[in-house]
Amino acid sequence: MPEIPLSLMSGPTLTPLRTQSDSRGYFSKIFDDASFKHEETLPFSIAISKNELKGTLRGLHFQLSPFGEKKLITCLEGSIFDVIVDLRPDSSNFGNWACAELSSNNPHQLHIPAGFAHGCLALRDSTIVSYLIWGKYSPEHSRRLAHDDPFLDIRWPIPVIQMSPQDAAAASFAEIKKEL
């Protein structure tokens, strides 16, 4: 059978990725059910970020209840220092942080339940990270926690050289605690 143009096929669609780019690299949702209105909706989205430079920080991000998000993080290329902060007030680990190094050479994923802030620091240039996110994005419930809050005392393994202006202006743990 001869090849025919994709546009003449019934069913398949070619959809451009909606990419947000800045000096850090890019962030793009690979799958978002809002993009597939003709299909059965699914309760998750898939996103990737490319971090051009070693020392690029994304985070610490989370959403307030009832819009908490669960995430599954995978490093596809390069290496990241992945950090989570427990923001569940009833947890015995409330306010504590944990970390894992994920890399393309380390076949592990980090599953993060709702109620945790999440951030990752690129440990190599051209690092690509995949995010599978359960839950709807709600700008009104979206928050950022300061990566350098003295209370948290997160010990980043290399200096943070680049982050978004929004992440640089993130709230302290004391400020966030009042909203939980």
Catalytic site residues? 61, 131
125: left (phi over 0), alpha (psi -120 to 50) or beta: beta
Distance from the Cα of residue 104 to its chain's centroid: 17
Residue 165 is inside which H or E element, if any? Answer: helix 165-168
Q: How far apart are the first and last CA of the chain?
A: 60
| Contacts of range 21-30, beta carbons closer than 8 Å, 24 or more positions apart | 22/164, 23/52, 23/162, 24/51, 24/52, 24/53, 24/56, 24/58, 24/162, 24/163, 24/164, 25/49, 25/50, 25/51, 25/52, 25/53, 25/56, 26/50, 27/58, 30/130
